[in-house]
Amino acid sequence: MTRTVYVNGDYLPETEAKVSIFDRGFLMADAVYEVTSVLGGKLIDFQGHAARLQRSLGELEMISPVTMDELLEIHHQLIARNDLDEGGIYLQITRGAGPDRDFVWPDPEEVKGGIVLFTFAKKLTAGKSLDEGIKVVSMEDIRWGRRDIKTTQLLYPSFAKMQAKKKGAADAWLVEDGFVTEGSSNNAYIVKDGVIITRQLSTDILHGITRASILKFAAEAQMKVEERPFTIEEAQQADEAFATSATGFSQPVVEIDGVRIGDGKPGPVSRRLREIYMEEMPKTAL
Ligand code: PDD
C-alpha cells in the first residue's frame, strides 16, 4: 500500500511528496521533530509530544506553520488515511526554504516553516527484543550541548547505532565525563536494590515524554526513583537496566559492553513498568 503523507499543507502519496533543495532541514538540519506512537489507531501522549515540540521550536526561535489543534487533526487524518493500527507518526518542522543557502536565519515573516508528517506501521507491543532484552555498548557522547532540543541533527546517534551494530549490540549508551547521558535514541535507566536510577533532566539529555510517564507511574506504584548520573561500571553491577522511548516504551537491556546485567534476562521492574504503561496510556490516547 502506498502511504499517504503530509507535506506543507497537502496529503499526497509518498511517491509524489517533495521538498525544496533549499529547505534548511535538508541543508543544515535546521529542523525539529517528534515521534508519537500509535496503539489501536490512537495517539499515545500526543499532548506531551506537542508540548515538547513547542518548546523545541521556541528554543530555536522557529514558528510552527500549523497550530497544535491543526497538528492533531493532521495526525488523525494520517492514521485514518493509512488505516494505521499500531506504529507511529513522524513529524518534522523545519525553518523552511530560504531563497538560497545561508547560515543566517531567514526572517520568519518572509519564510514560512516547512512541515512533513508520515506514518509507519510497526509492532510495538511484542517482539524478540522485549522477550530477551537487548545488548548495548558504551560510546563517548560527542553530540552538541543542547540535547534537550529535539533536532534532526542525528548523524552521531545514527553513527553510534551503526558502531553498536558492528559490535553485535542493538544500541549505544552515550557517556560524557564518565557518566551515562542517555541511549542513542532513548533515555537510560538502571535498577539497584529496587531503586530506579536515571539521569536528571538538563540540557545534556532529551526530556523523554515516555520518561516522564514512566517516572510518574513508578512514583504512583511506590517505587523509589533517584534522578542522578550513573557510570557504565555502576550499570554493569546493577540488578537490571532498561531504556525508554516513544516507540520502545520500556525496553529491557541485558548486557552492557559484554557484561551481563543481573541474570541476563529482562528484569521485573522494567517489565512491571511496561505493563503499567501499556495499561494506563491507552486510557488517555487521542
Ligand atoms: N527518540 N533520548 C533521545 C536522544 C531520543 O532520540 C529519544 C526519542 C528519547 C526518548 O524520548 P521519548 O520518550 O519522548 O520518545 C530520548 C525517538 C523515538 C526517535 O528519534 O525515533
pLDDT tens string for the chain (286 positions)?
799 999 999 999 999 999 999 999 999 999 999 999 999 999 999 999 999 999 999 999 999 999 999 999 999 999 999 999 999 999 999 999 999 999 999 999 999 999 999 999 999 998 999 999 999 999 999 999 999 999 999 999 999 999 999 999 999 999 999 999 999 999 999 999 999 999 999 999 999 999 999 999 999 999 999 999 999 999 999 999 999 999 999 999 999 999 999 999 999 999 999 999 999 999 999 9
Number of neighbouring beta carbons within 10 Å of residue 131:
10
- 17, with CB counted inside 10 A (0-12, 13-18, 19+), is middle
Q: Specify the CATH number for 4-121; select among 3.30.450.20, 3.40.50.300, 3.40.630.10, 3.30.470.10.
A: 3.30.470.10
User: Which residue's CA lies nearest to atom 3 of ligand 1?
Assistant: 185
DSSP designation for 61? T
Distance CA 98, CA 236 (A): 49
Domain with CATH 3.20.10.10 in the chain: 128-284
The residue behind cell 488515511 is 81
- 194 three-class SS: coil
Q: Which atom of ligand 1 is nearest to the CA of 247?
A: 18
pTM above 0.85, yes or no: yes
- Give the Å distance between the CA of 206 and the centre of ligand 1: 7
CATH superfamily of 128-284: D-amino Acid Aminotransferase, subunit A, domain 2 (3.20.10.10)
pLDDT at site 129? 92
Domain with CATH 3.30.470.10 in the chain: 4-121
